Amino acid sequence: MPARIVTVAQQKGGAGKTTLVVQLATACAARGFGVAIVDIDPQATLAHWMRLREQGARGVRELRFSMVGGWRLGVELDRLLRDVELVFVDTPPHAESEAKGAIRRADLVLVPAQPSPPDLWASAATFDLARKEGRPARLVWTRVPPRGRAVEEAGAEAARRGWPALSAVLGNRRSYVASFARGLGVIEAEPRSAAAAEVEALVGELEGWLRG
């Protein structure tokens, strides 16, 4: 199968970019993909998670990790693509130049957003970048409340703007926070949890594309 790059980007902070990268990467590794994760966010949240993982967490499969920025991103992506099947890139908020480089190299751009007006407004910048670079982009709803019509209402607005959204969503669950604090994904830490089922549904929706 051809190697693929998935860039996770969103101009608004706190939308769940790093959580999405971690959950997708660990779930894809569990399905047998060779996976690398790349952190280009100066906050280095993903790098901290990886340190926790290396210091004692027992994941289902090894993940390659790199932290780079600027012109080095393209070189590092080329190197990783020779060794793995999937590369997930975690981008910083409010940094168009950094995000632009990662989006330009992406085979798919995932835009995490809570189903709220501020997150939708912020998503416009990422969808604009993806369109300018000719890259396909999809919304992923995160921190979805257990009740109410938030996703339906936000989804209607996204559709009006022409932004496609994945059907699978990630709920507002403690399991994501708890597993992250251990250097794990939920499918590793709590494989029978509702959160793990959500991640499996998300990967299942993407798997045909991921396998090319």
Instruction: Note the pLDDT tens digit of each residue in 86-112.
Output: 999 999 886 667 788 899 999 999 999
How many Å apart are CA 135 and CA 109, to the nearest integer?
Answer: 7
Task: Compute, in degrees rounded to 10, the torsion defined by CA atoms 47, 100, 155, 148.
Answer: 30
pTM confidence score? 0.94
pLDDT digits (tens, 9 = 90+) for 1-39: 679 999 999 988 888 999 999 999 999 999 999 999 999
All domains of the chain, ordered by start, with CATH? 4-203 (3.40.50.300)
Task: Give the number of other CB atoms < 10 A from CB of residue 56.
Answer: 8
